[in-house]
Amino acid sequence: MNHDSVREASDFFNSLLMEHFLKRKQRAPQAMPMHLVIAFSLFSTRRQEETTRLLWSDLDEKHSRVLVRDMKNPGEKNGNHVWCDLPAQALTIIQAMPRVKEQIFPYTTDAISANFTRACKLLGIADLHFHDLRHEGVSRLFEIGYSIPHAASVSGHRSWSSLKRYTHIREEGDKYVDWKWLPDVTGDRMVADFDSSFDPMLTMDASLSDLVSDS
C-alpha cells in the first residue's frame, strides 16, 4: 500500500473498524478492546508486537514515555530497548487500561491479528494491514508539525533517513483533534466494562463467535 493509499485508509479505520469494535465491546464487554489497541497503535506509532510487550513497570508517566523492549532494528532486536515519547492521546489511552497483568496490553499478537483480519474481511476492507496504523501515526506527526528528530523520538526510528519519505507531508494541523471516538478511547466509559478476569488467550475464539454473529 503506497503512502497516499495509507492516508485514504484512515477513513476505513475511522468509519468502519472503530465503529465495529466499539459496537462489539458494547455487546460483549469481555472481548478484547480492539478499539483501544487500534487507537493506541495509531497515536503511539507502535508496532503490534511492541505494543504487546509494553510493561506497566516501564511506563514513565511523569515524562510521558515508555520503554519499548526488543524494538525491531536491522541486525539488532533482542536487547534493543528504546525509550519512546508518548503523545498525549497515547498516554491517556494507557491510563484508561486496567492494571490486571504486568503487560499494559495483555494480548497476543496472534489474537490481535486475528481480530483485525477477520473484521476487515467481514467489513469488506481489502489491502489493509495492522502495520498501516504505524504509517498513519507517523504521517500524523508530520501533519501536526513534528520535525524528523521529534517524530523519531516517538516512532523509535534510529535512522532519520527512514523518515525522509514523510517530509513531503504538509503541516495541516491535527485531523484527530475532534476525532469522533476520542472520548471512547481516552475515557473510562468503555473500559469500565472490561472484565478483569478475562483471559486474553481466549480472545480468538470469543472474537470469532462474535464476528459470526455479526454476519
Q: Which residues are catalytic?
A: 47, 77, 131, 134, 157, 166
> How far is 163 from 146, CA to CA, in rounded Å?
11
> How far is 189 from 178, CA to CA, in rounded Å?
18
In eight-state DSSP terms, residue 70 is T
Q: What cell was used for 207?
A: 472474537
Q: Pairing between strand 82-85 and 59-60?
A: unpaired
Dihedral of the CA atoms 26, 32, 34, 35 (nearest 10)? 40
**Helix 34-44, helix 88-96: angle, nearest 10:** 150
Q: What cell was used for 203?
A: 480472545
